[in-house]
Chains A and B, each alone.
Chain A
Amino acid sequence: MTKLTLERKLAILSEAAKYDASCASSGSTKRDSRGGKSIGSNEGSGICHAYAPDGRCISLLKILMTNFCIYDCSYCVNRVSSNVPRARFSVDEVVQLTIDFYRRNYIEGLFLSSGIIRSPDATMQDMVQIARKLREEENFRGYIHLKTIPDAAPELIAEAGRLADRLSINVELPTDASVERFAPEKRPAQIREAMANVRVQKEVAKDRSHTGKRPPKFAPAGQSTQMIIGADGSNDATVLGQSTRLYSSYKLKRVYYSAFSPIPDSTDKLPLISPPLQREHRLYQADWLLRFYGFGLEEITSVTPDGNLDLQIDPKLAWALAHRGLFPLDVNRASKELLLRVPGFGVKTVSRILTTRRHRHLRYEDLVRIGASMKKARAFITAGGWSPAGLTDSADLRARFAPPPQQLSLL
């Protein structure tokens, strides 16, 4: 076998990594390299160093250590039965590439994942070694995200947590039944146990010892997971039900939804579709409503009879249209909880309304200056100089927001 060049390896192993949606680099501990002996910093907010034409941000060097894998997960480009070209980075190659890219300001850090080679422990060991070299030999203070392998030994996960900013383990699909069907070697219960273990270790690392000393931080940017949408038949209520359980059980920072996308050399078990991007977008919107806007799962998923979100309008608007009895709200009197339910008002807008209305009576123009999206909001509120009159209850209100019906293509 001819030896692959570094460039060819990078091509193969980034191609293999692109189906992981996460690229966040935010929310870790603050640190920098002003001392002159190290390289890298982290200031809380993430930075997206580039955007690919698929609209996804490129913040980290997202690569696989190897795309050889002994598992056979139908949805995955790297499954053992696929004929894609294979490659493997050495530990030093990943370390050098990360540092060289970082010095040129291309990236915030490394997101390392891997196919399973030999055994889960052997694979995890190499990944941990890469993180250790970056931290201890290169004095790297940038961001490291390690994808953990659920059945690796707990000591390896513990060390990974001390070196990395974030750990993640993918639940892959919304229900246990689908995981068993499409990823025969993965056990959903084991994935949950691994996430529980990360949460427990993170909480243990918060306790001070009897001398008041803090143990080293464990995965300070938390853990996240990813679910593939549209590969199995689960509806949005199932997907969001799974994610609310994951958020509450394992204190996840994020659940990523990844529209099932065609992959090179796919299996006949999963027919290729064009990725349900709109559905993915609506799920993220619903996820935000659940976490930051005080919505309950039932409220969002009960709007439509089949438990799927409305693809044409956003979930908050869909909820508001189904509960018009509550509207219009008076922005000068309504409570914070209710203002958060007005379509077109975000968390920032609401907090600005609350501080400003302490001084004076808010008028329609004030809301525009505050940054509210009045095209949506105006049907649902009253303010100084504005009343929606019949608009709130008008029969064609939905049609004003939904995109015009498209004629089906003849071809």
Chain B
Amino acid sequence: MTRAIVLPRIGTATAWRDAARGLLAEGVPPEEVCWGDDTATAGLFDTHTAPSSKRQVSVPRSFISMAETVVWHSDPQRFARLYEFLWRLQSAPWLMTDRGDAGLAKLRALEKNVRRCQHKMKAFVRFREIGDPKAPRRSFAAWFEPTHHTVEPTAQFFRRRFGDMDWRILTPDVSAYCTDGVLSFDLDQPKPDLPSDAHEDLWVTYFRNIFNPARLKVQAMQSEMPKKYWKNMPEAAAIAELIATAPARARAMAEAAPTLPPARAAQAQAMQSRNVSAWAHPAEDLPAAIRACTRCPLHECATQAVPGEGPPDADLMIVGEQPGDLEDLQGRPFVGPAGQLFDASAQAVGLDRSQLYLTNAVKHFKFTPRGKRRIHQRPNTSEIDHCKWWLHAELREVSPKLVVAMGATAALALTGDGKALSTRRGTVENGSDGVPVLITYHPSYILRLTDAVRREQVLQQFRADLSLAADIVSIEATTP
């Protein structure tokens, strides 16, 4: 016996689900069901309501969400295809993840059609104002001709979007109305005569002028905005003319001779030069000069040069390797993880950061991009040499009693000696500028150590070195 199941055009998704659940519970195979919607002429068979049964049927969640989209397709076979696949799913629940299965591939294709149709509806519906623009709730209406039965599933989108106005979208199939935030639907509306709307002309003006006649890509436009939608879009009327005149307009631009600048230009440029002096860095010359540095190629990749920071009469100067990711972004030295470790260690031995002059041997961040991260790279000798110029200038300005060189790069820049740190740390060497240099580890070296015991040991040595530096310059401990 064949059963004919007729589904309504409004509320189709729920109706199909109820019907399918009932049939499945009763064990009716797909070949015994004949599906249709209420536009189809009365079938050859008697109409049946789907049986309702208490038996539980379990269906993968992914199937339900697919089915809730596919039911809106215009393909008359959609209900049957869904039920047939659902039937197969009962004995093979893994089928939903078998993307090579012909039945699933077809349903997924239908689903894609409906989703695209919904998306195009969200994009191409064009409202006209039908009420008083001064009314507390304004009202708008649109005539639209969707390819599939997409009005009902898409209406919620419009309700979410246009919360403070009333609207209606009329179509030859299902029409949607939203009044005071409440949705309703009805069927088979004739095309209304909507009043003209002055904003449509403004919109067409915008469309004509945002188009660049020098780059004509008609195919690209048409694949995204198929011609079938054009008749209800006011801007589409301009397309033919825009395409036809584009080559001539592009040629005219190319052939036009350059003109002389208007009189206004000189005046504007004068205004501009006033602005420049207003943006210049007001600080002493050195930090500004460092920020403007282009001595080596590192400046092209980094955000900014990071000059030293601290009182210009500091007794102790701390020199690291180079700014890291955060220092580069913020323009201040020692603000990243290594800076935090330094701050904590300095505080532990009674050094006050605000009394120290902190800087780096190289002023720009050197890195290689890896995806969304920047990986630190050690500066090479030539970059260190170029930047020595700035380090020496800072040394001259501050003239500290002692410099602490953290890490091999700083040691090389300050002493000219690039030998390994392990034998040198904790000792004071003669700097090439005549200032004594205390050699120690760089805090980021400590952060990179994975062996906890070794890490603790190196951290103790680092603290001891800072403590020694404090003793040498005998800065008053400023612990709170």
Chain A contacts to B: CB under 8 angstroms: 6-7, 10-12, 14-15, 17-19, 32-41, 43, 47-58, 61-62, 68-72, 80-83, 97, 100-101, 103-106, 118-120, 139, 151, 175-176, 185, 188-189, 192-193, 195-197, 199-200, 244-245, 247-251, 259, 261-268, 272, 274-275, 277, 291, 297, 352-353, 355-356, 358-360, 362-363, 365-367, 369-370
Partner of B264 from the list A80, A139, A196 (CB cut-off 8 Å) is A80
Q: Contact flags (1/0) for B229-261 with A, using CB distance below 8 Å?
A: 000010100010011001000100110101101
Query: CB distance B268 to A38 under 8 Å?
Result: no
Residues of chain A lying within 8 A (CB to CB) of residue B393: none
- B451–chain A nearest beta-carbon distance, Å: 30
Q: List the 10 closest A-B pairs by CB distance, nearest first.
A: A366-B100, A55-B217, A33-B163, A55-B220, A248-B369, A81-B261, A32-B160, A369-B105, A70-B268, A52-B211
Residues of chain A lying within 8 A (CB to CB) of residue B102: 369
Query: CB distance A262 to B300 under 8 Å?
Result: no
Residues of chain A lying within 8 A (CB to CB) of residue B371: 247-248, 291
Residues of chain B lying within 8 A (CB to CB) of residue A366: 99-100
In the complex, whether B212 has a CB less than 8 A from a CB of chain A is yes
Q: CA A196 – CA B127 in complex, angstroms?
A: 42
Residues of chain B lying within 8 A (CB to CB) of residue A15: 209-210
Evaluate whether A47 and B123 lie within 8 angstroms (CB atoms) in the complex, with A83-B259, A244-B369 already known: yes
In the complex, whether B157 has a CB less than 8 A from a CB of chain A is yes
- B208–chain A nearest beta-carbon distance, Å: 8
Partner of A358 from the list B97, B123, B268 (CB cut-off 8 Å) is B97
Query: CB distance A359 to B165 under 8 Å?
Result: no
- A309–chain B nearest beta-carbon distance, Å: 19
Query: CB distance A105 to B142 under 8 Å?
Result: yes
Q: CA A245 – CA B328 in complex, angstroms?
A: 13
Q: CA A72 – CA B268 in complex, angstroms?
A: 10
Residues of chain B lying within 8 A (CB to CB) of residue A359: 94, 97-98
Partner of B181 from the list A36, A245, A274 (CB cut-off 8 Å) is A36
The chain B residue with its CB closest to the CB of A40 is B161
Q: Could you show 17 A-B contacts with beta carbons less than 8 Å apart?
A: A34-B159, A36-B181, A49-B124, A53-B211, A56-B212, A58-B210, A103-B165, A104-B199, A106-B126, A151-B279, A189-B291, A189-B303, A249-B329, A262-B214, A262-B253, A266-B256, A359-B98
Residues of chain A lying within 8 A (CB to CB) of residue B208: 11
- B251–chain A nearest beta-carbon distance, Å: 9
Q: CA A81 – CA B269 in complex, angstroms?
A: 10
Residues of chain B lying within 8 A (CB to CB) of residue A355: 97, 99
Interface hits, B95-123 → A, CB 8 Å: 97-102, 105, 119, 122-123
Query: CB distance B165 to A264 under 8 Å?
Result: no
Residues of chain B lying within 8 A (CB to CB) of residue A265: 256, 258-259
Evaluate whether A48 and B369 lie within 8 angstroms (CB atoms) in the complex, with A17-B210, A80-B261 already known: no
Binds A, one of B17-25, B270-278, B415-423: B270-278
Query: CB distance B164 to A33 under 8 Å?
Result: yes
- A370–chain B nearest beta-carbon distance, Å: 5
Residues of chain A lying within 8 A (CB to CB) of residue B162: 33, 39, 103
Q: CA A97 – CA B198 in complex, angstroms?
A: 12
- A329–chain B nearest beta-carbon distance, Å: 17
In the complex, whether B125 has a CB less than 8 A from a CB of chain A is yes
Q: CA A359 – CA B254 in complex, angstroms?
A: 60
Query: CB distance A41 to B369 under 8 Å?
Result: no
In the complex, whether B301 has a CB less than 8 A from a CB of chain A is yes
Q: CA A272 – CA B252 in complex, angstroms?
A: 11
Query: CB distance A18 to B211 under 8 Å?
Result: yes
- B247–chain A nearest beta-carbon distance, Å: 11
Query: CB distance B291 to A53 under 8 Å?
Result: no
Partner of B272 from the list A54, A70, A356 (CB cut-off 8 Å) is A70
Residues of chain A lying within 8 A (CB to CB) of residue B212: 18-19, 52, 54, 56, 261
The chain A residue with its CB closest to the CB of B257 is A268
Evaluate whether A32 and B163 lie within 8 angstroms (CB atoms) in the complex, with A266-B253, A369-B100 already known: yes
Residues of chain A lying within 8 A (CB to CB) of residue B239: 53
Query: CB distance A97 to B369 under 8 Å?
Result: no
- B371–chain A nearest beta-carbon distance, Å: 7
Query: CB distance A51 to B225 under 8 Å?
Result: yes
Query: CB distance B215 to A55 under 8 Å?
Result: yes
Chain B contacts to A: CB under 8 angstroms: 94, 97-102, 105, 119, 122-129, 138, 140, 142, 157, 159-165, 180-181, 197, 199-203, 205-221, 224-225, 233, 235, 239, 242-243, 246, 250, 253-254, 256, 258-259, 261-262, 264-265, 268-269, 271-272, 275-276, 278-279, 291-292, 299-304, 328-331, 367, 369-374
Residues of chain A lying within 8 A (CB to CB) of residue B203: 101, 104, 106
- B285–chain A nearest beta-carbon distance, Å: 17
Residues of chain B lying within 8 A (CB to CB) of residue A105: 125-127, 142
Residues of chain B lying within 8 A (CB to CB) of residue A189: 291-292, 299, 303-304
The chain B residue with its CB closest to the CB of A251 is B372
- B153–chain A nearest beta-carbon distance, Å: 14
Given contacts A41-B157, A104-B197, A360-B98, 6 further A-B contacts (CB under 8 A): A32-B161, A38-B163, A101-B202, A105-B125, A185-B276, A249-B328
Residues of chain B lying within 8 A (CB to CB) of residue A362: 100
Query: CB distance A41 to B100 under 8 Å?
Result: no
- B423–chain A nearest beta-carbon distance, Å: 37
Query: CB distance B278 to A11 under 8 Å?
Result: no
- B367–chain A nearest beta-carbon distance, Å: 8
- A317–chain B nearest beta-carbon distance, Å: 21
Query: CB distance B206 to A14 under 8 Å?
Result: yes
Residues of chain B lying within 8 A (CB to CB) of residue A275: 214-215
Query: CB distance B122 to A356 under 8 Å?
Result: no
Query: CB distance B123 to A49 under 8 Å?
Result: yes
Query: CB distance B99 to A352 under 8 Å?
Result: yes
Query: CB distance A53 to B97 under 8 Å?
Result: no
Q: CA A175 – CA B219 in complex, angstroms?
A: 33
Query: CB distance A47 to B122 under 8 Å?
Result: yes
Query: CB distance A53 to B272 under 8 Å?
Result: no
Partner of B210 from the list A14, A97, A176 (CB cut-off 8 Å) is A14
Partner of B329 from the list A14, A188, A199 (CB cut-off 8 Å) is A199
- A111–chain B nearest beta-carbon distance, Å: 11
Residues of chain B lying within 8 A (CB to CB) of residue A6: 202
Evaluate whether A249 and B261 lie within 8 angstroms (CB atoms) in the complex, with A261-B215, A369-B99 already known: no
The chain A residue with its CB closest to the CB of B97 is A355
Residues of chain B lying within 8 A (CB to CB) of residue A193: 303-304, 331
Q: CA A156 – CA B46 in complex, angstroms?
A: 72
Query: CB distance A52 to B206 under 8 Å?
Result: no
Evaluate whether A18 and B209 lie within 8 angstroms (CB atoms) in the complex, with A39-B164, A53-B242, A196-B328 already known: yes
Query: CB distance B221 to A120 under 8 Å?
Result: no
The chain B residue with its CB closest to the CB of A369 is B105
Query: CB distance A101 to B100 under 8 Å?
Result: no
Query: CB distance A55 to B164 under 8 Å?
Result: no
Q: CA A274 – CA B215 in complex, angstroms?
A: 8
The chain A residue with its CB closest to the CB of B240 is A53
Residues of chain A lying within 8 A (CB to CB) of residue B372: 247-248, 251
Residues of chain B lying within 8 A (CB to CB) of residue A70: 268-269, 271-272, 275
Residues of chain A lying within 8 A (CB to CB) of residue B125: 105
Query: CB distance A53 to B279 under 8 Å?
Result: no
Q: CA A263 – CA B252 in complex, angstroms?
A: 10
Evaluate whether A50 and B205 lie within 8 angstroms (CB atoms) in the complex, with A70-B271, A200-B330, A277-B215 already known: no
Partner of B163 from the list A19, A35, A43, A119 (CB cut-off 8 Å) is A35
Evaluate whether A41 and B161 lie within 8 angstroms (CB atoms) in the complex, with A245-B301, A358-B97 already known: yes
Residues of chain B lying within 8 A (CB to CB) of residue A49: 123-124
Query: CB distance B181 to A50 under 8 Å?
Result: no
